[in-house]
């Protein structure tokens, strides 16, 4: 995706549907960005370490994680999370 392309805006309802279950993609949001972890072996069936679930805004949970945001930034950004 080049810089000129606008990212998809996800509502919270759309994000929930992308939870990695029943062949849905696995996306989560952090700080307003939506990341795709569908093909990550660390996110099998939309779950990470049995602690975190795709389809959610994980911004607050990241603050408690044993790693920083640099790990999250390895994944592709596929959109932004709308406030409403």
Sorted by where each begins, the domain ranges of the chain are 8-81
Percentage of residues in the chain with pLDDT exceeding 90? 71
Q: What is the 3 state secondary structure string of the chain?
A: CCCCCCCEEECHHHHHHCECCCCCCEEEEECCEEEECCCCHHHHHHEECCCEECCCECHHHHHHCCCCHHHHCCCEEEEEECCC
Residue 57 pLDDT > 60, yes or no? yes
CATH fold, domain 8-81, is Flavocytochrome B2; Chain A, domain 1 (3.10.120)
Span 29-40, average pLDDT: 96
What was the pLDDT predicted at 5? 65
């Amino acid at each position: 995706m080049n810089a000129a392309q606008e990212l998809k805006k996800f509502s919270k309802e759309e994000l929930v549907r992308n939870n990695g279950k029943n062949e849905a993609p696995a996306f989560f949001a952090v700080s307003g960005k939506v990341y795709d972890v569908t093909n990550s072996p660390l996110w099998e069936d939309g779950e990470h370490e049995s602690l975190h679930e795709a389809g959610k805004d994980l911004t607050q949970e990241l603050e408690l994680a044993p790693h920083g945001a640099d790990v999250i930034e390895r994944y592709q950004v596929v959109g932004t999370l709308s406030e409403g």
